[in-house]
Chains A and B, each alone.
Chain A
Amino acid sequence: MTHVLVIGAGPAGLSAAVAAGDAGARVTLLDSGDGLGGQYWRHLPPQRPAQREARLHHGWAAFDRLRGSLVGVEVVTEAQVWAIETVDGIAVHVLIGPADAGGRAARTFAPDALVLATGAHDRTLPFPGWNLPGVFSAGAAQALAKGERVAVGRRAVVAGAGPFLLPVAQSLTAAGAHVVGVYEAARPAALARGWLPRPWRLLGAARKGGELAGYAAHHLGRRVPYRLGRAVIEARGDGRVEAVVTARLNADWSPIPGTERTVAADAVCVSHGFTPRLELPIAAGCRIGPDRFVAVDADQRTSVESVYAAGEITGIGGVDAALVEGRIAGARAAGAPAAAADLKRRTATTDFARRIDAAHGIRRGWTSWLRDDTVVCRCEEVAYGPLRDAAAATDQASLRSLKLTSRAGLGICQARMCGRTVEELTGADPARAEDTTDRRPLAAPIRLGDLAAPATTCGKDTHV
Chain B
Amino acid sequence: MNADVVVIGAGIVGAACARALARTGLSVVVVDRGAPASATSARGEGNLLVSDKAPGPELDLAMLAADHWPHLAASLADELGPGFPDIEYDRKGGVVVATTEEGAEPLRAFANGQAAAGVEVAHLTPGEARSLEPHLNPAITAAVHYPQDAQLQPVVATEALLASARRAGVRVLAHQEVVGLVRDGERITGVRTASETIGTSAVVVAAGPWSGEVAAVLGADLPVRPRRGMVLVTARMAQRVFHKVYDGDYFGATQSADADLQTSSVVESTPGGTVLIGSSRQQIGFDDRLRVNVLAEVAGRALRLFPFLAGTPVIRAYGGFRPYVPDHLPVVGEDPRHPGLWYATGHEGAGIGLAGVTGDLLCAQLTGADPAIDPAPFQPSRPSLAAHLTGGAA
Interface residues of A (CB under 8 A from B): 83-87, 91, 93, 100, 102, 283, 380, 389-390, 393-398, 400-401, 404-407, 410-412, 414, 432, 434, 440-442, 445-449, 451-454, 457-458
Interface residues of B in 116-175 (CB under 8 A from A): 153, 155-156, 158-159, 162-163, 166, 172, 174
Identity of the chain A residue whose Cβ is nearest the Cβ of B162 in the assembled complex: A394
Q: Are B314 and A445 interface neighbours, CB within 8 A?
A: yes
- The digit string for B279-318, where 1 denotes a CB below 8 A from any CB of A, is 0000000000111110111011011000001111111111
6 cross-chain pairs, A with B, having the tightest CB-CB distances, nearest first: A398-B35, A449-B310, A452-B299, A404-B155, A445-B313, A452-B300
Q: Are A440 and B163 interface neighbours, CB within 8 A?
A: no
- Min CB distance B179 to A, Å, is 19
Q: Does B42 contact A (CB under 8 A)?
A: yes
- The digit string for B313-341, where 1 denotes a CB below 8 A from any CB of A, is 11111110000000000000000000000
Q: Which residues of B lie under 8 Å from residue A393 when comparing CB positions?
A: 80, 83-85, 159, 163
Main secondary structure of the interface of B (DSSP, over half): mixed
Q: Are A407 and B316 interface neighbours, CB within 8 A?
A: no
Q: Are A395 and B163 interface neighbours, CB within 8 A?
A: yes
Q: Are A451 and B314 interface neighbours, CB within 8 A?
A: yes
Q: Are A401 and B155 interface neighbours, CB within 8 A?
A: yes
Q: Which residues of B lie under 8 Å from residue A454 when comparing CB positions?
A: 293, 296-297, 300
- Best-surrounded residue of A396, A397, A410 (most CB of chain B within 10 A): A396
A451 to B295, CA, bound (A): 7
Q: Which residues of A lie under 8 Å from residue B156 when comparing CB positions?
A: 404-405
Contact A452/B159 with A401-B38, A442-B316, A447-B313 known, Cβ cut-off 8 Å: no
Q: Are B289 and A447 interface neighbours, CB within 8 A?
A: no
A440 to B291, CA, bound (A): 13
Interface residues of B (CB under 8 A from A): 34-38, 42, 80, 83-85, 153, 155-156, 158-159, 162-163, 166, 172, 174, 232, 234-236, 272, 277, 289-293, 295-297, 299-300, 302-303, 309-319
Task: Give the total number of A-B pairs whose CB atoms are below 8 A apart.
Answer: 141
Give me 28 A-to-B residue pairs in the complex whose CB atoms sit less than 8 angstroms apart, sorted by A's number.
Answer: A83-B292, A85-B289, A85-B291, A86-B289, A86-B290, A390-B85, A393-B85, A396-B35, A396-B36, A397-B35, A398-B34, A398-B35, A400-B38, A401-B36, A401-B159, A404-B156, A414-B316, A440-B316, A445-B235, A445-B313, A447-B310, A448-B234, A449-B310, A451-B232, A451-B296, A451-B314, A452-B310, A457-B292
Q: Which residues of A lie under 8 Å from residue B314 when comparing CB positions?
A: 442, 445-448, 451
Q: Are B83 and A395 interface neighbours, CB within 8 A?
A: no
Q: Are A448 and B85 interface neighbours, CB within 8 A?
A: no
Q: Which residues of A lie under 8 Å from residue B315 when comparing CB positions?
A: 412, 414, 442, 445
Given contacts A393-B85, A447-B312, 14 further A-B contacts (CB under 8 A): A390-B85, A393-B80, A394-B163, A396-B35, A398-B174, A401-B37, A410-B316, A412-B315, A446-B313, A447-B311, A447-B314, A449-B299, A451-B296, A457-B296
- Min CB distance A402 to B, Å, is 9
- The listed residue (B172, B300, B319) touching A395 by CB distance below 8 A is B172
